A and B are shown apart, each in its own frame.
Chain A
Amino acid sequence: MRTARGHWAVSAVLFVMGVLLVVQFRAQTANGGLSNLTTQDLTTLIANLNDRNSELRSEVADLQAQLRTLQGTQQTGASNVGQLQSELQQLRMWSGLDPVRGDGVVIIIDGPITAAASNEILNELRIAGAEAMAIDGVRVVPGTVVGGNPGGLSVENVALPMPFHLEAIGDPANLQAVLQRAGGVISRIAVAQPDVTVEVAATTMTLPGTDRDLDAPDAKPQL
């Protein structure tokens, strides 16, 4: 009788101990995310989120206006053809299917640059708000990546000559500032790959539409 009571007591204590162990372990591992960021990082993050959210708010406003116009036209019985054509044109330019024209920068690269550094320049151009880009006349669409080894780079299976140029449409001052800032991508390449020269100039350009099919043949729309 006494032994049985003892077993119950031990079981109860072990149970509580197990629960506490798990709670303690979880408390230790759940300490990820924002709490790892310094004040400096948080300030950068907040600036990014602020910019992005105001962009998204204007996208929401645009879509609401677009929807109102569509529905308004439908009530009056007028044709929607013009609206659909206008949206089609914007989507085709944005996605890279159609050629575009505008102000931006041209970057001339000479020397044995790595593929990773070339792709890093493209990423920096996106950070600076580039709206359309091309690598030596090949329009950049999702999946357009510089590949190969230094001296033998290629894009979409076409060999890149030396020198080659990257073009980006966007605010020229902003694009130049991001590329050329102290510690930016160009100064990093100058340190890591001293044989490579990278020159940037503002210009007006026309970028071609892509030659690629962007129809994702192996994918299906989610239901």
Chain B
Amino acid sequence: MSALVARVRRIPSWQFTLGVALLVLGFLITAQLRSLVPRTQYDSSDLPPLRQTAQELQAAQDQLKAQILDLRAQVQAAEQNGQGNAAQITALNAQLGDARLAAGLVALQGPGVVVSLRDSTRPVPPGAAPGDLLVSAADLRQVIDLLWLSGAEAVSVNGERIAVTTPLTDIGSSVLVNSSYLQPPYQISAIGPADLYTRLATSAAFVAYLQNRAQAVGLDVALLQSNDVQVPAYSGTVNLIHARPVASPVPGGSASPIGSATP
């Protein structure tokens, strides 16, 4: 017995440390290999067909949007080199510039607020649905509406500009903005007057939202004031099918008739 104890005592301590470390290493390698097995099924090579289709469609959409932004820039350049009565062309280009700004077709930067919203990490309380603890389209709409009411002049969510026709909808546990699939966490960027942050943070409706919704379920809502908030241009369609011009003098005070503009 004492021989054995003496033998164990002769083993240097680093061998014990190494032994324990190798044991933990073995566990980690096993955990890693095991977690790799189900994950490889989600790699692009053999994604379930629906998921792959959705990914391809979203990639195609991103490409179409880039193409639209590029074409709009080319059209604008061609219009600035427009031929005709020089004074009239200059005036029309100035009016087009204002209209593009109003429509959200111009990427903007300026002072403002960035609000980030993250899903709750709390365990789902009994009686609640897991979806209640996630940031939903209703959460984003509420915060965006309160930003507008606080004086915001341009707003985007994760790179999607909020234009006059922009809907926000839920798809399962995620959100579609301009029919683009957004991944959490969500970042709402808003440009506005210098006191936008104060107006939002002190508005009774925002305080009520934080208390009754965000804090109640544990959503992480963070406000950041910045002098350089970036809001991208709207890259969707500006087509009108059902809306027609009202027979009236030409917009913008120009004296010449629109002629064949109505399809």
> Which B residues are in CB contact (< 8 Å) with A88?
92, 95-96, 99, 251-252
Q: Which residue of A lies closest to B105 (CB)?
A: A91
CA–CA, A13 and B145, complex, Å: 54
Cβ of A85 and Cβ of B261 under 8 Å apart? yes
> Which B residues are in CB contact (< 8 Å) with A126?
165-167
In this complex, how many residues of chain B approach chain A with their Cβ under 8 Å: the count is: 119
B174 to chain A, nearest CB (A): 7
Cβ of A219 and Cβ of B53 under 8 Å apart? no
> Which A residues are in CB contact (< 8 Å) with B2?
none
CA–CA, A24 and B25, complex, Å: 12
Cβ of B98 and Cβ of A215 under 8 Å apart? yes
Cβ of B171 and Cβ of A45 under 8 Å apart? yes
Q: Which residue of A lies closest to B173 (CB)?
A: A36
> Which B residues are in CB contact (< 8 Å) with A40?
172
- Residues on A lying within 8 angstroms of B by beta carbon are 2-3, 6-7, 9-10, 13-14, 16-17, 20-21, 23-24, 27-28, 31-46, 48-53, 55-60, 62-64, 66-67, 70-71, 73-74, 77-104, 115-116, 119-120, 123-124, 126-127, 130-132, 140-145, 147, 169-171, 206, 214-222
- Residues on B lying within 8 angstroms of A by beta carbon are 12, 14-15, 17-18, 21-22, 24-25, 28-29, 31-32, 35-36, 39, 42, 50-51, 53-55, 57-58, 60-61, 64-65, 67-68, 71-72, 74-75, 78-79, 81-85, 88-89, 92-93, 95-96, 98-112, 138, 141-142, 145, 148-149, 152-155, 162-169, 171-174, 176, 178-181, 183-184, 191-194, 205, 230-231, 236-246, 248, 250-252, 254, 256, 258-261
